[in-house]
Amino acid sequence: MQNQSIVLASSSLYRQQLLQKLTLDFTCASPNIDEQAHTNETAPQLALRLAKEKALALTEQYPSHIIIASDQVAMLNGKQLCKPGNKETTIQQLQASSGKSIAFHTSLCVLNSATNSLKTDIDCCTVHFKKLSKQEITHYVELEKPYHCAGGFKSEGLGIALFERIEGDDPNALIGLPLIKLIGLLKEFDISVL
């Protein structure tokens, strides 16, 4: 087990809660980067680039640390979904998703800031939505208020009732941090969670 301090490059409460599952000591820092997509950048390319930029943005502040960064890009019918931010937009997003599928690309970057060695990976997960009535969507949104969640739902909560099925390797990736892949990347930096 390496004794370098771990930093999660995120202010997301969801990512913090996921990383806590691994019982590692870590601190959090919010990287300040421009998250705009580049021209002709695919969703996986965007997610991977943003995770790398988040990790690299903290190297000066944390010069001898293991920095973990992640980003998620959600795509519906070839268009990127953003965090809806309010009730109306959340309802609109879920109405657009009704009976359709959203692809979630959740990237990961682990950086040793002392050596500038970094490793990346990406998890792709597809959520297939049930056909939902406006009443069902509105009721869900009023109960859970998932305004700050990509896609407008919380799969770890009542949002699971919106789905026909989920295709993917790691349910944690959908929440925002692919733990199975993270455990593998940490092992490459001599950090074992067991």
Contact present, 32 and 54 (Cβ < 8 Å): no
Reply yes or no on whether 71 is catalytic. Answer: yes
pLDDT for 35: 87
pLDDT for 1: 43
- Tell me the pTM: 0.92
pLDDT for 37: 87
Q: Please state, in angstroms and rounded to a whole number, the distance separating the CA atoms of residues 68 and 18.
A: 12
Among 34, 71, 123, 170, the one annotated catalytic: 71
**Among 10, 53, 13, 58, CA closest to 35:** 53
Q: Please state, in angstroms and rounded to a whole number, the distance separating the CA atoms of residues 104 and 123.
A: 8
Fold classified for 5-188: Maf protein (3.90.950)
pLDDT by 10s per residue, the chain, length 194: 456 799 999 998 999 999 999 999 999 999 989 888 898 999 999 999 999 999 999 999 999 999 999 999 999 999 999 889 999 999 999 999 999 999 999 999 999 999 999 999 999 999 999 999 999 999 999 999 999 988 899 998 999 999 999 999 999 999 999 999 999 999 999 999 99
